[in-house]
Amino acid sequence: MIKILIVDDEKPICDLIDLNLSGAGYSCTSVQDGGKALQMIEEGKYDLILLDVMLPGVDGYDIMEYIRPLGIPVIFITARYEVKDRVRGLKLGADDYLVKPFDVVELVARVEAVLRRYHKADNILTAGDVTVDVEARRVTRKGVPVILTNKEFGLLLLFMHNKNVALFRETLYENVWEGEYLGDSRTVDLHVQRLRRKLGWEHCLVTVYKVGYRLEVPQ
């Protein structure tokens, strides 16, 4: 199981990330103090570290300096949105940069992406009779390849990563189409319907009334 360390001085934020990443199948530990974080990094072995920049004790950039030689991927989480801060974080060797307030779905997706880059994530996702090879972008149903468009593939990944979670139309739109959702749900609906047809998910991919869709798989 993939182990993630969350370093943020805010307990509510730590818990929020913890709950969501645990839900997505990761094992999380959280710590609120920079010094303690260093100690834990030294003792335990983590696959990914989510790091807040402003910490009591030792600050996030200092921790980053310490982590870099260890080769553990790091995602910075901070309220600072200025370009120079982002550049500084990335230059120090962070793998990604997430600005508060962030969307939980986005957080999960980014964690997934970084882990995949380090070949730590499971490249094969399954739900029911559908298997997805993320790296090869190959989708098969009962061993038979299914041809999906780019957007359909993006939607499928989002559902796979958030099983049994109601995904709002705006969330789907903002994450797959990467633009601001302006209230026009037809694009999303159309693609979801096509995905349903192609994968035979008429019963799994249920419509949540007035909200969006949910991929239901028995846990």
Partner 1 sequence: MKFSLKLLLWTVIVLALALGISGFYFVNYVFETSMARETGQAMDESRILRFAFETAALNVPAKYDVLADHTIEEIGHNLENGGSRRLRILDEHRQVVYKSPGFEGDDLLLSQTDEAVNTWQVIHKGEHYYVQTCMMADALNRVLYLETLRDVTEVFRERALGFLVYRRVTVIMLVLGTFIMHGIASWLTRPIRFLTRATRRMAEGEYDYRAKKVSEDELGQLTLDFNRMANALEENIGKLEKELQAREDFVAAFAHELKTPLTAIIGYADMLRSHRLDEEKSFLSANYIYTEGKRLEAMSFRLLEIMVTRHGKLQLQIVSTDLLFEYLYNMYRTNRTMGFHLKHDKGTVWAEPNLIKSVLMNLIDNACKASEPGSVILVRGIRQKDGYRFLVKDSGVGIPKEEQEKITEAFYMVDKSRSRSKNGAGLGLALCVEILALHKSRLNIDSEPGKGTCMSFVLAEGPGREGGEDRR
Return the closest-CA partner of residue 107 out of 213, 211, 4, 212: 4
CB 3 within 8 A of CB 45: yes
Out of 102, 128, 187, 198, the residue judged to bind partner 1 by CB under 8 A: 102
Distance in Å, CB of 45 to partner 1, minimum: 26
Out of 10, 135, 184, 202, the residue judged to bind partner 1 by CB under 8 A: 10
CB proximity list for 161: less than 8 A, separation 6 or greater: 24, 108, 109, 112, 125
Cα dihedral across residues 184, 187, 191, 194: positive or negative: positive
Out of 80, 88, 116, 141, the residue judged to bind partner 1 by CB under 8 A: 80
Q: 3-state DSSP call for residue 69? A: helix
190 contacts partner 1 (rule: CB under 8 A): no
104 contacts partner 1 (rule: CB under 8 A): yes
Nearer to partner 1, 54 or 72 (CB): 54
Give me the residues that bind partner 1 (CB under 8 A), please. 9-10, 12-13, 15-16, 19-20, 23, 32, 34, 54-57, 59, 79-80, 100-104, 162, 164-168, 211
